[in-house]
Amino acid sequence: MSGRKFVSSPVKFAKGLLPIILGLLLTSLLSPGCGDARPDSSELLSGTWVNTQVNGTNVPTDSSFVLAFLPGRVHYQSEGVTQSSLSRTWLESDRYTYDLRKDQMLIQGLDARKRQVKTQLRIVSLTQDQLVYTVESHSLNGTEHPDQATYTMARVKSNNSESLPGVWYGRCTTPGAQDARYSFWEFLYDGQFRMYRQDAAGVWHAEAYTATSCFLFGDLLVRNFTTVAPDGTHVENFDCWTIDIKGNSMNWTRRHPDGTTEEYRMQRAASAPEEGSTNAPIPEATYPLAPAQ
């Protein structure tokens, strides 16, 4: 149900784990579930949902995950996965089916790591804006993994798939930030991104990523990237941001596990700087930016 471009359509454009997900899924095409599932519940459930709370507590932005309920009882999941102490990545899978019967929902299929998943959920409440559920049972490859938490999900309503692509200029505006240098971010329509920074001599260079991809779920932006450590090791990582785009201005915010937040403010730019140049098309900001620390 995902595509390689910033589009709002549940169409796959390529095989495998795809880097850009639609910002807004169709919410009115899902037919009622089988059995005695209520049509109004199926219609309310249809769409994309982002996790916002666990047991009533706001989750760190990087801990968010995404569920989508699609036509034909297809179910999609997307989440960050820690692979080792140095490596983590954001993965997706739409190889699930779901069956809704009153307040009970059975989800079965293969996750992104090709493990057989079988999960029984109980819907606590479901409205146009919010889904709350508990996990009655959850197994991976036949092994039970008890889960006593209550999960709160917010429906994806916004669509930034046309607003995000392009070049942006800005910096971290969090008070006391260790790195508040101005940078350029370039988001391509194929789901890749580039970041440009100046060195000590004022020369602009693209950051040395070996691979990049983005996922976009309304106002949740997820970036996958791979960097090369000094010893030559390739390190996979991801980060999640809540983005707010108004005209030519964009804010990013990110909640950390300790409750602190990180913020970036950006302005749309005409183009990215040329590699190795000392000049850059810096836009005229429509909001005040204090000098970089």
pLDDT of 3 above 80: no
Residue whose structure tokens are 């010893």? 231
**Least confident range of 21-25, 124-128, 220-224, 226-230:** 21-25
For residue 19, pLDDT beyond 90:
no
pTM: predicted TM-score of the whole model, two decimal places: 0.83
pLDDT digits (tens, 9 = 90+) for 143-184: 999 999 999 999 999 999 999 999 999 999 999 988 899 999
Residue 166 backbone phi and psi in degrees, to 5? 130, -165
Distance CA(118)–CA(105), nearest Å, equals 11
Q: Phi and psi dihedrals of 9, rounded to 5?
A: -145, 135
What confidence score (pLDDT) does residue 160 get?
A: 93
Per-residue pLDDT tens digits for 77-89: 999 999 887 899 9
pLDDT score for 126: 96
- Structural domains in the chain, sorted by start: 1-24+158-293 (2.40.128), 39-155 (2.40.128.280)
The confidence band for 285, taking pLDDT boundaries of 50, 70 and 90, is low
Q: How many CA atoms lie within 13 A of 73 on its CB side?
A: 15
Neighbours of 268 (CB within 10 A): 17
Q: How far apart are CA 178 and CA 225, in angstroms?
A: 21
**Tens digits of residue pLDDT in 227-283:** 888 888 889 999 999 999 999 999 999 999 999 999 999 999 999 999 999 988 888
Q: Does pLDDT of 20 surpass 70? A: no
- Per-residue 3-state assignment (H helix, E strand, C coil) for the chain: CCECCCCCCCCCCCCCCCCECCCCCCCCCCCCCCCCCCHHHHHHHCEEEEEEEECCEECCHHHCEEEEEEHHHEEEEEEEEECCCCCEEEEEEEEEEEEEECCEEEEEEECCCCCEEEEEEEEEEECCCEEEEEEEEEEECCEECCCCCEEEEEECCCCCCCCCCEEEEEEECCCCCCCCCCEEEEECCCCCEEEEEECCCCCEEECCEEEEEEEEECCEEEEEEEEECCCCCEEEEEEEEEEEEECCEEEEEEECCCCCEEEEEEEEECCCCCCCCCCCCCCCCCCCCCCCC
In angstroms, rounded to a whole number, what is the distance separating the alpha carbons of residues 70 and 3?
A: 15
Q: Which residue has the tokens 């917010």?
A: 154
- Taking only the tens place, the pLDDT of each residue in 98-151 is 999 999 999 999 999 899 999 999 999 999 999 999 999 999 999 999 999 999
pLDDT at residue 281, as a whole number: 85
